[in-house]
């Protein structure tokens, strides 16, 4: 076949000459003018335009982002959220209908007449989970049965509860090891199973503690009530933890529909907003941040944070729809029960305040079942506090499963938070100023004299100084937050192409020179020095 080519070549050289002749006669624009144009191209700086096209300003890239990221993300989130909200609504309606017909009074727990309510919750919850995780639901059910068997340990008393807690956390590790091979399974189930474990442990402690105050939850709940609690549609998929007591208190919804509707809409809107920030806006800002490493870190961490807010807002929406209340009394008028308080995280007073607002129910759980018992069993007051903090963070890390990154972040958080609050407490008592990690409770109850709420924020010099110091601590907390949050970025991304960043999740820390850790250790050293 190849001869054909040479054949044609000779042909086309002929034509070429023809054309050249034609170029001389007809189309003279080949010589001089062309040269000019080439010069034009070369010197004319088409390069600038090009750079603008490729790097792209914010304004230029917004429409593109809107189309390629915002739209698909919102679409998928809506697809995910709508059935969940609908199921929760169905659950609420059914419960309400049953309560109307059966004339239930509130002190009939454990009675058979409550069974249909548990059944409704269980049915809705399982449907929701089936929608969310598909066939893996069977695995979850199996784990729930194991959990119920473990619950029988409570017959041993208080120690049974502790044993239950340890076994639950241990079993989570076991599942993780077993299911680890199917990597796609576990990250999805982990969050769900974590909530289940928290419920299980809290149930154990609640049932065995004498001073819980809630006498109704004595005696192990029947399997239906147990499953209804574990798989209540409001809390099964995305958390948060609720205690068995508040679950059974809210079996019959009481809030007004209008209030619920308003709160649901507010939560849903915020949820869409945060997912947009997390998916599209934060990466865009991160791209634009370019050279400055802290900014890149901050925007990357912003993506992580807003992802957390997104989950929190969905969870809040589900809670509102089913009219499930949380154990913590904090309720916002606009949003209902609060899972996270983004405004306190984005502008934190201190790291410990930040940690408390990150996941309020989880914080409540840790405080109630880990921190307080640990604190009361110890002897020396200061060591006791530290031990309790350490215990809390240990349990919290273990609950999260086997994830080195989370261990590192939580341990760092524990150290930073402890160091900061110790230092600030000491400083505030030495300087007699409102510098402690927690916000002063108000002008009357503040123990210190140099308090902005007493003096007026910026009125006096000392007030100014106190404000500035607190501002500095806030800035430090923001820096810590960006530094720690960025590590959790890119969680379980399984893109087809291995990205270069995956070489180590510590890359950002290395890039920042482990600055945050030095600062964290520095605060502790400073505290030890001055105390």
Partner 1 sequence: MDISYIFVICLMALCSGGSGFSPVEGKQKSGRGRGSMWWGIAKVGEPNNITPIMYMDPAIHSTLRRKQRRLVRDNPGVLGALVKGANLAISECQHQFRNRRWNCSTRNFSRGKNLFGKIVDRGCRETSFIYAITSAAVTHSIARACSEGTIESCTCDYSHQSRSPQANHQAGSVAGVRDWEWGGCSDNIGFGFKFSREFVDTGERGRNLREKMNLHNNEAGRAHVQAEMRQECKCHGMSGSCTVKTCWMRLANFRVIGDNLKARFDGATRVQVSNSLRASNVLPGLSPNAAGSSSVGSNGLILPQSVVYGEEEERMLNDHMPDMLLENSHPNNKIHHPNMPSPNSLPQGGQRARNGRRQGRKHNRYHFQLNPHNPEHKPPGSKDLVYLEPSPSFCEKNLRHGILGTHGRQCNETSLGVDGCGLMCCGRGYRRDEVVVVERCACTFHWCCEVKCKLCRTKKVIYTCL
Output the smallest distance, CB 357 to partner 1, in A: 15
Restricting to residues 29-48, which ones interact with partner 1 according to CB under 8 A? Answer: 29-31, 33-35, 37-39, 41-43, 46-47
Output the smallest distance, CB 9 to partner 1, in A: 7
Restricting to residues 349-368, which ones interact with partner 1 according to CB under 8 A? Answer: 359
Angle at 196 between CA 194 and CA 199, to 5 degrees: 110
Return the residue of 107, 135, 210, 380 that touches partner 1, per CB under 8 A: 135
Distance CA 376, CA 357 (A): 24
User: Of the residues 400, 426, 480, 517, which is catalytic?
Assistant: 400
Restricting to residues 46-65, which ones interact with partner 1 according to CB under 8 A? Answer: 46-47, 49-50, 53-54, 59, 64
Restricting to residues 489-508, which ones interact with partner 1 according to CB under 8 A? Answer: 491-497
Number of residues that bind partner 1 (CB under 8 A): 89
Report yes or no: 165 and 156 within 8 Å, Cβ to Cβ: no
* Sign, CA torsion 480/483/487/493: positive
Query: Which segments within 256-413 are labelled E, that is strand?
Result: 331-332, 336-337
Query: In 323-380, which residue ranges form alpha helices assigned H by DSSP?
Result: 342-346, 351-358, 360-366, 372-377
Report yes or no: 475 and 349 within 8 Å, Cβ to Cβ: no
Q: Is 372 in the site for partner 1 (CB under 8 A)?
A: no
Restricting to residues 173-202, which ones interact with partner 1 according to CB under 8 A? Answer: 182, 184, 187-188, 190-192, 194-195
Output the smallest distance, CB 181 to partner 1, in A: 10
Question: 69-80 in b/e burial notation, b at 16+ Cβ within 10 A?
Answer: bbeebbeebeee
Distance CA 179, CA 189 (A): 10
Report yes or no: 366 and 240 within 8 Å, Cβ to Cβ: no
Of 72-80, 168-176, 212-220, 426-434, the window that binds partner 1 (rule: CB under 8 A) is 72-80
Q: Which residues pair with 450 in a beta bridge?
A: 433
Restricting to residues 448-487, which ones interact with partner 1 according to CB under 8 A? Answer: none
Distance CA 34, CA 43 (A): 14
Q: Is 270 in the site for partner 1 (CB under 8 A)?
A: no
Residue with token string 């009357």: 444
Q: Which is nearer to partner 1, 67 or 100 (CB)?
A: 67
Return the residue of 62, 69, 402, 515 that touches partner 1, per CB under 8 A: 69
Per-residue binding string, partner 1, 284-323, x by CB under 8 A, is: -------------------x---xx-xx--x---------
Q: Which is nearer to partner 1, 8 or 331 (CB)?
A: 8
Output the smallest distance, CB 494 to partner 1, in A: 7
Annotation says 400 is catalytic: yes
Q: Which is nearer to partner 1, 352 or 470 (CB)?
A: 352
* Sign, CA torsion 455/457/461/462: positive
Active-site residues: which are they?
400
């Amino acid at each position: 076949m190849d001869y054909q080519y040479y054949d044609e070549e000779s042909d086309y050289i002929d034509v070429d000459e023809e054309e050249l002749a034609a170029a001389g006669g007809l189309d003279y624009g080949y010589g001089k003018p062309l040269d000019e144009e080439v010069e034009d191209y070369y010197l004319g700086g088409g390069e600038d335009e090009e750079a603008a096209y490729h790097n792209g300003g914010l304004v230029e890239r917004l429409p593109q982002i809107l189309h390629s990221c915002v739209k698909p993300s919102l679409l998928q989130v809506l697809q995910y959220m709508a059935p969940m909200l609908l199921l929760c609504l169905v659950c609420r309606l059914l419960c309400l209908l049953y309560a109307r017909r059966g004339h239930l009074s509130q002190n009939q727990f454990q009675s058979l007449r409550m069974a249909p309510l548990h059944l409704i919750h269980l049915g809705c919850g399982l449907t929701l989970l089936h929608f969310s995780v598909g066939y893996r639901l069977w695995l979850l059910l199996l784990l729930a049965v194991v959990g119920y068997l473990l619950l029988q340990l409570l017959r041993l008393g208080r120690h049974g509860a502790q044993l239950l807690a340890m076994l639950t956390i241990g079993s989570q590790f076991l599942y993780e090891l077993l299911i680890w091979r199917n990597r796609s399974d576990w990250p999805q189930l982990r969050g769900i199973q974590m909530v289940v474990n928290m419920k299980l442990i809290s149930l154990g402690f609640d049932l065995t503690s004498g001073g819980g105050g809630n006498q109704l939850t004595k005696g192990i709940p029947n399997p239906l009530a147990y499953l209804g609690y574990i798989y209540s549609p409001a809390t099964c998929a995305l958390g948060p933890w609720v205690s068995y007591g508040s679950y059974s208190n809210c079996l019959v919804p009481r809030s007004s529909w209008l209030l619920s509707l308003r709160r649901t809409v507010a939560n849903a809107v915020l949820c869409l907003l945060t997912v947009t920030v997390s998916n599209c806006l934060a990466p865009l800002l991160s791209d634009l941040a370019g050279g400055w490493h802290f900014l890149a870190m901050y925007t990357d961490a912003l993506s992580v944070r807003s992802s957390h807010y997104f989950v929190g807002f969905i969870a809040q929406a589900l809670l509102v729809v089913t009219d499930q209340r949380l154990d913590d009394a904090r309720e916002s008028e606009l949003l209902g029960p609060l899972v996270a308080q983004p405004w306190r995280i984005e502008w934190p007073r201190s790291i410990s305040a930040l940690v408390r607002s990150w996941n309020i129910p989880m914080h409540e759980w840790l405080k109630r079942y880990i921190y307080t018992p640990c604190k009361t069993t110890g002897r020396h007051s200061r060591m006791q506090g530290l031990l309790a903090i350490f215990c809390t963070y240990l349990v919290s890390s273990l609950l999260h499963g086997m994830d080195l990154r989370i261990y590192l972040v939580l341990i760092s958080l524990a150290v930073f938070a402890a160091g900061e609050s110790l230092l600030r407490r000491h400083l505030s008592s030495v300087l007699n100023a409102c510098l402690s990690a927690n916000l002063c409770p108000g002008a009357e109850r503040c123990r210190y004299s140099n308090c902005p709420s007493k003096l007026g924020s910026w009125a006096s010099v000392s007030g100014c100084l106190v404000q500035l110091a607190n501002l500095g601590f806030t800035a430090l907390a923001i820096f810590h937050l960006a530094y720690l949050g960025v590590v959790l970025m890119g969680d379980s991304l399984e893109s087809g192409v291995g990205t270069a960043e995956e070489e180590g999740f510590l890359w950002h820390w290395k890039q920042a020179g482990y600055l945050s850790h030095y600062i964290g250790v520095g605060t502790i050293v400073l505290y030890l020095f001055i105390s």
